[in-house]
Amino acid sequence: MRIFSLLILVVLFFQGCAYRPVGKGVNFSSVYIAPVKNKIDVAVDYSSISELQKYFPDIDAQIRSKLSGRFVFDGNVKTVNKDKADLILHVELLSYYKTPMRFSEQNEVEGYRISVIANVYGEDRDGKQVYAPKRLTGVADYILTGSNAVSESDAVLSAIDDLVKRIVEYVVEVW
């Protein structure tokens, strides 16, 4: 009886908990990431509102590049050229906000929240919409001073990483 119990324990130990999120069961195994459309209007003056909309150079290309890398990291879908893709993923960059989040006793800004907002949808090869448009937001906070200080460009990259993670989850995750 003792050997039997030990054998069951060894089998359960090596089998482990094989949890792995699976895809939605849609009929695609490859994706083409269309160039990100940047719809941020840089000509508008946002200085009169508390949330400051800004523009960050080359943010659309960074989103596309990181999106490709995230699909590779996820492993459920491979990225391919447009003519070989089962799904064509479209991302429209809608806004980039830099919002004051932390203030000193003298009411000076000590930290900001970066928000990168995009509209995402997917089509099959025939142009039929597979994923309805969905607005997703990537966020990152950063502090200007002290031991936890982070540059704005590093915070933007973190916000892009957060957005890209949400996009890939929207495409491949069950929930």
Q: Label each residue of the chain as H, E or C.
A: CHHHHHHHHHHHHHHCCCCCCCCCCCCCCEEEECCCEECCCCCCCCCCCCCEECCCCCHHHHHHHHHHHHHHHHCCCEECCHHHCCEEEEEEEEEEEEEEEEECCCCCEEEEEEEEEEEEEEECCCCCEEEEEEEEEEEEEEECCCCCECCHHHHHHHHHHHHHHHHHHHHHCCC
Domain ranges of the chain: 2-172
**Model confidence at 175: pLDDT above 50:** no
Count the alpha carbons within 13 Å of 72 in the hemisphere toward its beta carbon: 8
In order of 29, 58, 87, 125, 160, the CA distances from 25 in angstroms are 10, 34, 13, 18, 27
CATH code for the part of the protein at 2-172: 3.30.160.150
Q: Note the pLDDT of residue 135.
A: 95
pLDDT in tens, 65-120: 999 999 999 888 899 999 999 899 999 999 888 888 888 889 888 899 999 999 99
pLDDT in tens, 41-65: 766 655 555 456 566 778 889 999 9
pLDDT in tens, 149-174: 888 889 999 999 999 999 999 988 74
Q: Note the pLDDT of residue 96.
A: 86
Task: Calculate the CA 119 to chain-centre distance.
Answer: 11
Cβ neighbours, 10 Å, residue 17: 6
- Residue written as token pair 């150079």: 57
pLDDT in tens, 120-145: 999 988 888 888 899 999 999 998 88
